[in-house]
Amino acid sequence: MVPILAALHGLEDMIAVQQQQQQAAQRRRRRRRRARQAQQAPPRHLVIPQRQPPIPRIRASPFNLTPEQIHTLYRLDRDTITSIVDMIHHDIVSLIDIRTAIPPLLKVVTVLHSLATGTYQHMVGQMHGISQPVFSRTLNQVLDALLKHASEHISLPRTAQEIANTKVGFYSLAGIPICIRAIDCTHVELVVPHHNEAVYRNRKQFHSINVQMVFDAIKIITHCCARFPGSTHDSMVLRNSTIPRYMERQTGQRLWLLGDAGYPLKRWLLTSVRNPQNRHEEDYNRAHTRTRVVIEQTFGLLKTRFRCISRSGGALLYGHEKVAKITMACVMLHNMCIRRNGPLPLDLEMQPPDEDDDGDEDGGDGDGGHARGDAQEGRDVRQHLINKIF
């Protein structure tokens, strides 16, 4: 029995040794086969081609158009667009890959076309040869670059010469002296926000931000506050803006703002007389109305030139912070057009009157939520003006 078991173990050991020898022989044969293939194979760089550099995308220059076509597409003339590109060039130029980067000029005109028409991003991108995600990044980049220069183009008068020029301009409208600005609010529609939906619903029952603007006699917007939701009353926007502090510093020069019935009556903010009792008060109301016509004209011009902030162009599909940036950029570009005597939009007469202001009739002679002493002082100032001028 013992010899048989010993013989079986010796057989198993012999089989294992043979298997190991066969595996070693197979490995040697594979190594020799790979060596022969490597000697016969072509060089690696001929088998796997090197990556070729990307071919730059050829895009047509937006300036290969007539002046009328440029103004129709971008609402600005060629010289104004060029000045904008020069102004923000360092903020929007790409230094990563100059061969495939979007030129600054194309970035600017693409954003201008979006502001002028309110068209969807993918349609604007297709028209200018860029994708929707690229245009989205371009929009943020150009808006931020423009707003860095907003204070250079949107500012209240500071020097005596600027104030004197404004007085002359407003006096020529209806004969109201020492008036430097008119003030009003308008609404810019936006998509329904996920949070605080009711706060953004205005009294016209659509969602918006309430934008306060101050105007001079030649339709330049010298102040723009676009921080408050649509349900905020005009007087609340005024109270939380920089206008009160600015006007309080100017009280020594007897300068006034003209506002509608939605604003409180103050010694530096004059509204119309709610119930005129004599011819002098009626004359004052007519002059007040004729002077404030510049507000509706400016709103109409602004929203015709940049349809993205007009209800005729639909609601802006962005959050309130980005809508505020777009509004400020449109105001800045509008002022540049006025100062450079840019051409008016061809469809200006087709723009409906602005009906989004909060011209409420609940504050013309009241205090608007302010101290009654301020309202009484405002009435005294207004009555003194009526008795002296009208």
- Look up residue 242 and give its DSSP letter: S
Judged against a pLDDT cut of 60, whether residue 167 lies above it is answered with yes
CA geometry: angle 322, 325, 326, nearest 5 deg? 90
pLDDT of 201 > 80? The answer is: yes
Give the mean model confidence (pLDDT) for residues 123-152: 91
DSSP state of 216: -
* Beta pairing class for 179-189 and 208-215: antiparallel
| pLDDT at residue number 288 | 85
CB atoms within 10 A of CB 160: 9
DSSP E strands, 67-116: none
State the amino acid at position 252 in one-letter form.
G
| Three-state DSSP class for residue 226 | strand
Which pair of structure tokens corresponds to residue 376?
Answer: 């009484």
pLDDT score for 200: 92
- Measured CA to CA, the distance from residue 141 to residue 107 in angstroms comes to 9
β-strand 179-189 against 256-258: which pairing, if any?
A: parallel
When pLDDT is cut at 50, 70 and 90, the band that residue 361 belongs to is very low
d(CA 81, CA 105): 8
Dist. CA 103–CA 136, nearest whole Å: 15
Tokens of 179: 């008036």
Cβ-contact 315, 207 below 8 angstroms:
yes
How many angstroms from the chain centroid is the CA of residue 164? 32
- Region 94-104: mean pLDDT is 71
**DSSP state at residue 92:** H
Confidence band, pLDDT 50/70/90 cuts, at residue 97: low
Could you tell me which residues are beta bridge partners of residue 183? 214
DSSP letter for each residue of 253-311: GT-EEE--TTS--BTTEE---SS--SHHHHHHHHHHHHHTHHHHHHHHHHHHH-GGGSG
Task: Assign 240 a pLDDT band (cuts: 50, 70, 90).
Answer: very high
Question: In terms of DSSP bridges, do strands 269-270 and 256-258 run parallel, antiparallel, or are they unpaired?
Answer: parallel
Query: Rounded distance, CA 305 to CA 330, Å?
Result: 9
Q: Domain coordinates of the chain in residue numbers?
A: 67-148, 154-389
Cβ atoms of 232 and 360 closer than 8 Å:
no
- Work out the pLDDT band at 51, boundaries 50, 70, 90: low
Instruction: Tell me what pLDDT residue 333 has.
Output: 96
pLDDT tens sequence across 299-309? 999 999 999 99
Cβ-in-10-Å burial (0-12, 13-18, 19+) of 34 comes to: exposed
219: left (phi over 0), alpha (psi -120 to 50) or beta: left
